[in-house]
Amino acid sequence: MSKKQKQISLQSSFIWVAVWIILALLFNIFLWVYLAQSETSKIANQKALEFFTAYLIEQSLSMDNVFVFVMIFKYFSIPMKYQHRLLLFGVLGAHYENNTHCIWDMAR
């Protein structure tokens, strides 16, 4: 955890997950309504289903990542006070590596 943050409760985590899921579903409804008015209902149905499917896949992959993080932290007995910092460095490193590969591929 960072110095200014307290530990997040399980209930608070579930509430925030529910909030983000509801926001994604509301966006999906907005997308469907917008496309149904500006395009055909067939396109609206297809695009809304594509968004929903992609969202479910991303949520599944996110939960998979959380599971892997927990397993690594448990295996190496990482104290709670260092886990936030390690996650931050891991995310920043992953973004740097991903951007480097994208730039390298575009330069080809």
For residue 25, being part of any structural domain is answered with yes
The domain containing residue 94 runs over which residues? 79-108
Element (H, E) at 56: helix 41-75
CA angle, residues 32, 33, 38, in degrees to nearest 5: 100
In a domain, 38, yes or no: yes
Q: Specify whether 37 is located in the same domain as 70.
A: yes
- The closest alpha carbon to 1, from 92, 91, 68, 86, belongs to 86
Judgement on whether residues 68 and 84 belong to the same structural domain of the protein:
no
Q: How many CB atoms lie within 10 A of CB 60?
A: 10
pTM over 0.85: no
How many domains in the chain? 2
Could you tell me if residue 26 is inside a domain?
yes
pLDDT digits (tens, 9 = 90+) for 31-80: 999 999 999 999 999 999 999 999 999 999 999 988 999 999 999 999 98
User: In a 3-state reduction of DSSP, which class is residue 23?
Assistant: helix
